[in-house]
């Protein structure tokens, strides 16, 4: 089979000229060839040469444009350059052997066949010749083309050896199965099951990279079901694994929270590509196993699971080495607030409840609503429509209240600094109490969100609590005005 038409760019042409002139063999290999046959675009190209990859990269780059910067990784014998937003990586064909404690192989020079044999899956071991004599010819010693057409993930060598050598490949298998909607060959899957413990030599960062790719796939549930079935999930993510299963008492069963979470994640995947919102969908009910209760004559409850779940997030992120920054805070916020919008559906709901949610969710309110909409997993179409309609009502209420009161990015009209100056007291509990009281009065709609109203409210608070003003409202506005103009300078 020939794919010469598909590899007509200038980089491939120069590689071809150079290696043909030097009577060498070079091939474009791996993910690029796989994606080309699948009709998916890809922005990284691997070229393998029976000879020095570094020298070939340098020669090719020089012919295209001497100004192109080539980066080298001497110890790996690879070189790379960027041309027209594609990355070209060059490497000498090699043979690999492994020792037990590391996924980094011992390498020696080899033929292209050796190089294909060291690759993880047959679909990733396809090569197209760049030599003029058979330009574009598919070199496929392991029937990868047929696996690609049938949607099968299979290893060129004994899968037990492949996965034990480099256990990251087990996650790659599941990741490709998810991204491409492929089936993992049975023998390969069994080998994954028996090698789960080998994952201990893989860094958490690498594991996360694959988890992120699974989560970003069009139907992430495919991957998580495979992770669960293979035993990998309970090894890398026990809290998620603990969500599996249903329990029945007095004829009452609760739903399987693992499958429910996956359904929510799939639903959300249709609405957004945001990685962290997808993480939030996966984790929104993570607190359920630890809050599960059976209440006689009532059934199963998971009271407070959203708060429990939010509390669990830092521990999970820390252990898994996920980021502990605002990404984590964001996921926590989504988890803790996911039960809130539904309460706002009721006709009698007050503006105050709407304002509170707006204030707490801030700029993430739209993401929260998207998560809630994805959280509707009923099989009853009529019910789904009714729930979606309810959330439309909530969105409308949110919009109306926000337009009226602007609490989404609430800044208190009276700052702690102003309070300290007004009463001449240092930082203390009472300052927080006053701020909190003003905030509540605004969110409850007792007063409007402006300085004058807040000051009047504070006067009342001071009288009730025997606090004495040492500065007047005018003084404070003057001091603030001065401070502000100094800031502006
Ligand atoms: P993607 O770029 O979508 O992550 P890919 O298959 O191109 O997928 P890369 O990491 O770019 O993955 O690797 C390029 C090629 O290198 C693969 O197609 C495969 O042939 C080989 N490869 C990558 N990782 C491994 C591994 N852990 N074991 C064996 N071969 C691998
Ligand atoms: Mg790639």
Chain segment 96-106, per-residue pLDDT in tens: 889 888 888 88
Worst-scoring range by mean pLDDT, 282-286, 455-459, 477-481? Answer: 477-481
* Residue 3 in tokens: 């794919």
Q: Where is 97: in which H helix or E strand?
A: strand 94-97
Q: From the CB of 115, is ligand 1 less than 6 Å away?
A: no
Please tell me the pTM assigned to this model: 0.90
Nearest ligand for residue 98 CA: 1
Q: From the CB of 175, is ligand 1 less than 6 Å away?
A: no
Q: How far apart are CA 157 and CA 321, in angstroms?
A: 32
Q: What is the mean pLDDT of residues 161-171?
A: 96
pLDDT at 488: 60
Q: Where is 300: in which H helix or E strand?
A: strand 299-301
Q: Which residues contact 340 (CB under 8 A, 6 or more apart)?
A: 357, 360, 361, 368
pLDDT at 487: 63
pLDDT at 476: 87
Residue 413 has pLDDT above 90, yes or no: no
pLDDT at 337: 97
Mean pLDDT computed over every residue of the chain = 93
Residue 486 has pLDDT above 70, yes or no: no
pLDDT at 385: 93
Q: From the CB of 140, is ligand 1 less than 6 Å away?
A: no
pLDDT at 462: 92
Residue 194 has pLDDT above 80, yes or no: yes
Residue 297 has pLDDT above 90, yes or no: no
Residue 124 has pLDDT above 70, yes or no: yes
Q: What is the mean pLDDT of residues 412-438?
A: 91
pLDDT at 484: 67
Q: From the CB of 120, is ligand 1 less than 6 Å away?
A: yes
Tell me the backbone φ, ψ of residue 184, rounded to 5 degrees: -85, 125
* Opening angle at CA 418, ends 413 and 420, nearest 5: 140
Q: Which residues contact 39 (CB under 8 A, 6 or more apart)?
A: none
Q: From the CB of 124, is ligand 1 less than 6 Å away?
A: yes
pLDDT at 489: 60
pLDDT range class, residue 448, cuts 50, 70, 90: confident
pLDDT at 310: 97
Question: Which residue's CA is the closest to the ligand 1 atom numbered 26?
Answer: 120
pLDDT at 102: 87
pLDDT at 134: 96
pLDDT in tens, 343-391: 888 877 788 889 999 999 999 999 999 999 999 998 899 999 999 999 9
Question: Which residue's CA is the closest to the ligand 1 atom numbered 7?
Answer: 31
Bridge partners (DSSP) of residue 97 are 106
Question: Which residue's CA is the closest to the ligand 1 atom numbered 28?
Answer: 120
Q: From the CB of 89, is ligand 1 less than 6 Å away?
A: no
pLDDT at 141: 96
Q: From the CB of 231, is ligand 1 less than 6 Å away?
A: no
Residue 186 has pLDDT above 80, yes or no: yes
The rounded Å distance from CA 249 to ligand 1 centre is: 48
Q: What is the mean pLDDT of residues 32-55?
A: 94
Query: Which of 102, 104, 124, 178 should be mutated for ligand 1, with most atoms under 8 A from CB?
Result: 124
pLDDT at 412: 80
The rounded Å distance from CA 31 to ligand 2 centre is: 5
* Percent of the chain whose pLDDT exceeds 70: 99
Q: Encode 156-192 in three state secondary structure.
A: CCCHHHHHHHCCHHHHHHHHHHHHHCCEECHHHHHHH
Count other Cβ atoms within 10 Å, centred on residue 360.
Answer: 17
The rounded Å distance from CA 232 to ligand 2 centre is: 24
Q: What is the mean pLDDT of residues 5-30?
A: 95
Q: What is the mean pLDDT of residues 262-282?
A: 98
Which residues have beta carbons under 5 A from ligand 2 (an ion)?
31, 44
Residue 408 has pLDDT above 90, yes or no: no
Tell me the backbone φ, ψ of residue 381, rounded to 5 degrees: -60, -40
Q: From the CB of 94, is ligand 1 less than 6 Å away?
A: no
* Residue 302 in tokens: 């998971």
pLDDT range class, residue 3, cuts 50, 70, 90: very high
Q: From the CB of 165, is ligand 1 less than 6 Å away?
A: no
Residue 75 has pLDDT above 90, yes or no: no
Q: From the CB of 16, is ligand 1 less than 6 Å away?
A: no
Residue 14 has pLDDT above 70, yes or no: yes
Q: Which residues contact 85 (CB under 8 A, 6 or more apart)?
A: 43
Residue 313 has pLDDT above 80, yes or no: yes
Q: How far apart are CA 227 and CA 239, in angstroms?
A: 13
Ligand 1 atom closest to Cα of residue 166: 27
């Amino acid at each position: 089979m020939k794919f010469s038409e598909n590899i007509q760019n200038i980089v491939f042409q120069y590689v071809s000229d150079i290696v043909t002139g030097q009577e060498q063999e070079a091939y474009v290999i791996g993910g690029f060839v796989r994606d080309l046959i699948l009709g998916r675009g890809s922005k990284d190209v691997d070229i393998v040469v029976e000879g020095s990859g570094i020298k070939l990269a340098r020669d090719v780059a020089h012919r295209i444009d001497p100004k192109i910067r080539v980066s080298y990784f001497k110890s790996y014998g690879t070189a790379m350059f960027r041309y027209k937003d594609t990355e070209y990586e060059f490497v000498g064909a090699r043979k690999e052997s492994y020792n037990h404690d590391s996924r980094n192989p011992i390498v020696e020079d080899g033929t292209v066949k050796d190089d294909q044999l060291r690759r993880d899956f047959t679909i990733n071991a396809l090569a197209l010749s760049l030599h003029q004599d058979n330009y574009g010819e598919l070199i496929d010693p392991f029937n990868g083309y047929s696996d690609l057409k049938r949607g099968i993930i299979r290893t060129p060598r004994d899968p037990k050896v492949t996965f034990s050598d480099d256990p990251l490949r087990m996650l790659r298998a599941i990741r490709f199965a998810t991204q491409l909607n492929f089936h993992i060959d049975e023998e390969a899957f069994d080998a994954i099951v028996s090698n789960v413990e080998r994952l201990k030599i893989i860094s958490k960062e690498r594991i996360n990279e694959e988890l992120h790719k699974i989560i970003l796939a069009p139907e992430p549930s495919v991957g998580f079901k495979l992770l669960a079935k293979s035993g990998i999930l309970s090894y890398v993510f026990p809290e998620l694994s603990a969500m599996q299963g249903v329990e029945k008492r007095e004829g009452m069963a609760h739903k399987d929270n693992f499958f429910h979470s996956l359904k929510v994640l799939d639903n959300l995947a249709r609405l957004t590509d945001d990685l962290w919102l997808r993480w939030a969908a996966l984790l929104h009910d993570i607190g359920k196993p630890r809050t599960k209760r059976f209440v006689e004559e009532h059934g199963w409850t998971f009271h407070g699971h959203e708060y429990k779940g939010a509390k669990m997030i830092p521990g999970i992120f820390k252990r898994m080495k996920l980021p502990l920054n605002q990404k984590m805070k964001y996921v926590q916020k989504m988890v803790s607030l996911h039960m809130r919008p539904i309460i706002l559906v009721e006709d009698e709901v007050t503006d105050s409840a709407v304002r509170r949610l707006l204030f707490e969710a801030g700029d993430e309110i739209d993401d929260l609503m998207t998560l809630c909409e994805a959280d509707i997993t009923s099989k009853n179409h009529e019910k789904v429509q009714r729930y979606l309609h309810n959330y439309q009502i909530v969105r409308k209420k949110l919009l109306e209240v926000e337009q009226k009161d602007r609490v989404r990015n609430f800044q208190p009209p009276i700052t702690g600094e102003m309070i300290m100056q007004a009463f001449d007291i240092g930082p203390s509990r009472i300052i927080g109490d006053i701020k909190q009281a003003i905030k509540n009065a605004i969110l409850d709609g007792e007063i409007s969100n402006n300085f004058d109203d807040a000051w009047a409210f504070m006067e009342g608070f001071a009288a009730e609590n025997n606090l004495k003003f040492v500065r007047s409202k005018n003084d404070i506005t003057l001091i603030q005005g001065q401070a502000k103009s100094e800031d502006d300078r």
